[in-house]
Amino acid sequence: MVEKADIIGAIFGQTEGLLGPEMNLNELQKVSKVGRIEVNVDTKGNMAKGDALIPMSTDISTAALIAAAIESIDKVGPFQAKFNLVGIDDIRAIKKKVIVDRAKKIVQDWATRTISEGEEMLKDVYDASKPGKLTSFGKAQLACGTGVFDSDWIILVEGRADVINLLRAGFDNAIAIEGARIDETVTKLTEGKRVVAFLDGDRAGDLILKELHGLVKIDKVLRAPPGREVEECTPIEIAEILKDALVPEAPQQQQPQPAHAHHDRDRDRRHSRRDREREPRDEYRAPPPSQQHEPVAVPAQPSKEVIAEDSPEILTAIRDVYPQINETLEAVVLDGSMNKLLKVPVSEVIKRLDSAEGGKLLVIDGIVTQRLVDAADKAGIEYVVGHRTTDLKKPGDIRIRTFGDIGISN
């Protein structure tokens, strides 16, 4: 029967010399134009069938001539034979397709990784620019940023509004001490961490700093500009003040306290951050210390005899208004007939007083300050009531009361 060697011998032997020496299979094989011929044979009875695969690296014309020459073979050994061309495949085209498909996969993998990396980069940038979150700490529920728990340094500020302002400036490691009485949980939180005290540039800030020095080890003390509060500072100002916060600071000597002999410690504590959050805000700022006059201390609370002179109609109106504005940070102006003329946030009351024509009584859910009294006097207001008062130079005949004076609140 026919063997593989017989078929390969017939291919080489019967095509030799048909197409000339340059297309002789033996010669083409020597110069690697023709590869190893693979033959598969399947014999059934007296007949053998099979296929022959001849790899070639010639042009299509040469391949076609050789294929035609092989089809002319009519004998393999002593047996009759017939060869038919099944097809010519361009291996380079197949390889190109494989290469292109692989290249597409590489590009796809690269694009996926690049998009993922890009999204991760965007997320990192977004997280860095996103303001921190406000939370609370301890039994006293002190307002703080989420960074106080894992940061290696902590900023102590006076109140919740200061914490919020520092969050806007990108500092999430601030905690509010809420007044001059320091909560013991603050001392535990600051253990093993650098502590920066960032306080208002006024007397209340001095008092809180004095209290802090006795309870917390402070590495650096920073203050808002004189006469201003931390909550009033812009993000740029906060960043400028805190830029050297991590630089160790030499111990500072205690600054002498301003002379206010007639105030006791309890009254000073009443001017804490929780009270001054009610103070009206407007575009007016206190002049620099060099331009300020020495304050004339006038007791803010009138005597009981003076209070007794207040009109029952006025007292009734105040008692009626108090529940409407308490804990709302709003102010109400009434006319001489105790009719409501104006209701505005305390932050706008100073600049809106002029619009309350005929106003006689101002009731405010906040602190009665000197600039509020000046604006009220200018607007013709005769009677001002609030939660507390600062040191006032009371102009003219304007009357100033607190809700405690009238017996509404403590």
Give the pLDDT score at 106.
93
Give yes or no: residues 314 and 332 share one domain: yes
- 194 and 101 in a common domain: no
Is position 288 within any domain? Answer: no
pTM of the model: 0.34
Boundary residue ending a domain (218, 249, 270)? 270
291 falls within a domain: no
Q: What is the pLDDT, as a whole number, of residue 130?
A: 60
Query: Based on the domain organization, do 71 and 96 belong to the same domain?
Result: no
Q: How many CB atoms are closer than 10 A to CB 54?
A: 18
Strand partners, 383: 361, 399
Q: Are residues 27 and 120 in the same domain?
A: no
Q: Is residue 283 part of a domain?
A: no
The per-residue pLDDT for range 139-193, each reduced to its tens digit, is 888 889 988 888 889 999 988 889 998 988 888 889 988 765 666 778 788 888 8
pLDDT surpassing 50 at residue 259: no
Q: Is residue 372 part of a domain?
A: yes
Which pLDDT does position 278 carry in this prediction? 47
> What mean pLDDT, rounded, does the chain reach?
79
**Quick one: 215 and 263 in the same domain?**
yes
Instruction: Mark whether 146 and 250 lie in a shared domain.
Output: yes
Split at pLDDT 50, 70, 90, the class of 68 is: very high
Which residues does 361 contact at the CB level (< 8 Å), separation at least 6?
Answer: 314, 317, 318, 333, 334, 335, 338, 381, 382, 383, 384, 385
pLDDT of residue 281: 46
275 lies in a domain? no
Residue 224 near residue 232, CB atoms below 8 Å: yes
User: Are both 326 and 204 inside the same structural domain?
Assistant: no
Do 264 and 143 lie in one domain? The reply is: yes
Tell me what pLDDT residue 286 has. 42
On whether both 34 and 104 belong to a single domain, the answer is no
Of 270, 294, 314, the position where a domain reaches its end is 270
> Which CATH number does the domain housing residue 386 bear?
3.40.140.20
C-alpha 112, offset from chain centre: 27
Do 29 and 126 belong together in one domain? no
In a domain, 286, yes or no: no
Q: What is the pLDDT of residue 181?
A: 64
361/313 same-domain check: yes
* 178-218 pLDDT per residue, tens: 765 666 778 788 888 899 989 888 887 788 888 777 778 88
Kindly give the pairing relationship between strand 330-335 and strand 340-345. Answer: antiparallel
What is the spatial distance between Cα 271 and Cα 263, in angstroms, rounded to a whole number? 11
Q: List the structure tokens of 105.
A: 């996969």
Of the ranges 89-93, 102-106, 274-278, 306-310, the best mean pLDDT one: 102-106
What is the domain range of residue 17? Answer: 4-80
Domain shared by 156 and 175, yes or no: yes
Residue 217 resides in a domain: yes
Does position 251 have pLDDT exceeding 50, yes or no?
A: no
**54-63 pLDDT per residue, tens:** 998 888 888 8
Domain boundary among 225, 245, 270: 270
pLDDT for 188 equals 81
Q: In the predicted model, is pLDDT for residue 360 greater than 90?
A: yes
Number of domains in the chain: 4
296 belongs to a structural domain: no
Instruction: Summarize pLDDT for 274-329 with one digit per residue, the tens.
Output: 444 444 444 434 444 444 444 443 444 433 333 345 688 899 999 999 999 988 88
